[in-house]
Amino acid sequence: MKYFEKYGKVIAMSAAALGMTAALTIESSLAYFTTYVSAGGSEVVSLGAQTTIHEEVSLMTKHITIRNTSQINDCFVRVKVFCPDGFTVEFTDVSGGDNWYEGEDGYWYYRPILPASTEDNASLTTVLDAKINVPEGFDRDDFNVVVIQECTPVVYDEDGNATADWSRVYSEYEDEQEDSGRLGEEADR
What CATH number is given to the structural domain containing 140? 2.60.40
Q: State pTM to two decimals.
A: 0.63
Query: Is there a domain that residue 25 lies in?
Result: no
Sign of the four-CA dihedral 166, 167, 168, 170: positive
Is the distance from CB of 88 to CB of 136 less than 8 angstroms?
Answer: no
Q: How confident is the model at residue 40 (pLDDT cuts 50, 70, 90)?
A: low
Residue-level pLDDT at 104: 92
Cβ atoms 109, 41 nearer than 8 A: no
Answer whether residue 62 is part of any domain: yes
9 in a structural domain = no
Cite the beta strand spans of the chain per DSSP E: 51-58, 61-68, 75-82, 88-93, 100-102, 108-110, 123-124, 128-133, 146-156, 162-164, 174-175
**67 domain residue, yes or no:** yes
Listed range (56-60, 115-119, 120-124, 136-140) with the worst mean pLDDT:
136-140
Structural domain that includes position 127: 51-157
Domain count, the chain: 1
- Whether residue 178 is predicted with pLDDT greater than 50 in this model: the reply is no
Is the pLDDT confidence value at 44 over 70?
A: no
Q: Is residue 122 part of a domain?
A: yes
Residue 140 lies in a domain: yes
